[in-house]
Copies of this chain bind each other. A is one copy, B any other.
Amino acid sequence: MSLEEVSVNKVFDGSLTKYKFKVRSSLFRCRQDPHLHKQSSALGGLDAKFNLFIPANAASGKVPILFYLAGLECTEDTGAQKGAFIGPAAKEGIALLFPDTSPRGAGIEGEDDDWQFGTGAGFYLNATNPKWSKHYNMYTHVTVEIPQAIEAAGLPIDFTRQSIFGHSMGGHGALTLYLSSLLNGAKQFRSVSAFSPIANPSKCPWGETAFKGYLAGGVAEGQDLYDATELVKKLPKTPIHVLIDYGTGDKFYKNGQLLPENFLKAARDQGYDEVQVRVRDQDGYDHGYYFISTFGADHIHFHANFLKA
């Protein structure tokens, strides 16, 4: 496994590098039992791309890293280009990782037929339906393979200081990766935030489609393993750091695809107060990057509190 530089752009005195890499065999963590591992490649040997912003201060020591998971139809470029995250991250001295949103070119029948499923819609889970399970394992790709590739390349990232955020499907990804790593003991991330997350996917059309398609156990398996609202109910009072913003003018919110109120209720029922779980309804904002860019600096500063503690 080695990283190939596709492009490098200087930005805010640091660098944004697009990398391409292929994994033939990697440590594949099995979520149901973190002690069980299999040797495999999360994307079935396909090339993967990601963007990595490294701030200028990395020249004098390793820097913390914040993962950004994008939403349906997006790529590793979307957040980097439209989120307005890089300026605030450069000021805070934090690296930003932008993974892709799915495998590309797996050649599975129907993969490109629906913008809500398949290519561009990996949902940050590990597929168990045999049709998808060779390639669609974005959970392991993001949490294990990309960090391993970055470490192996000797890049100046301090992986003892990781946080994660995301948008829509990527907000779902950020919340579930954060919560499961608390539940399985890995404690990979210090804090999580999300814009307009799919916060209760087993109760909405986007999530149901994904779970029925990717998972042998369907919606029940998804509800158990990849639903933020269900996962937060299982937490044994561990301290958590969660920030969520959504817009009251968001048509997907209005259509019941996001359900942040379900997550909020579950968190409050579990005893988490406003300091640990903050959910903000932003008046009149919609689902897009104009909304995200408005609160991007806020989210970077939220994570900086924990990454630089």
A305: chain B residues at CB < 8 Å are none
Q: Say yes or no: A294 contacts B82, CB within 8 Å.
A: no
Give the bracket for the number of chain A residues in contact with chain B: 20 to 34
Q: Say yes or no: B247 contacts A290, CB within 8 Å.
A: no
CB distance from A299 to the nearest CB of B (A): 14
Q: Say yes or no: B87 contacts A11, CB within 8 Å.
A: no
Q: How many copies does the complex hold?
A: 2
With A82-B81, A82-B82, A293-B86 already in contact, the answer to whether A247 and B288 are too (CB < 8 A) is no
A289: chain B residues at CB < 8 Å are 81
A82: chain B residues at CB < 8 Å are 81-82
Compute how far the CA of A10 lies from the CA of B86 in the bound complex, rounded to whole angstroms. Answer: 21
Indicate if A16 sits at the interface (CB-CB under 8 A): yes
Indicate if A160 sits at the interface (CB-CB under 8 A): no
CB distance from A74 to the nearest CB of B (A): 13
A75-91: CB near B (< 8 Å → 1, else 0) gives: 00000111010110000
Compute how far the CA of A13 lies from the CA of B291 in the bound complex, rounded to whole angstroms. Answer: 9
A9: chain B residues at CB < 8 Å are 286, 288, 290-291
Indicate if A284 sits at the interface (CB-CB under 8 A): yes
Interface residues of A, Cβ cutoff 8 Å to B? 9-13, 16, 80-82, 84, 86-87, 247, 249, 284-286, 288-291, 293-294, 297
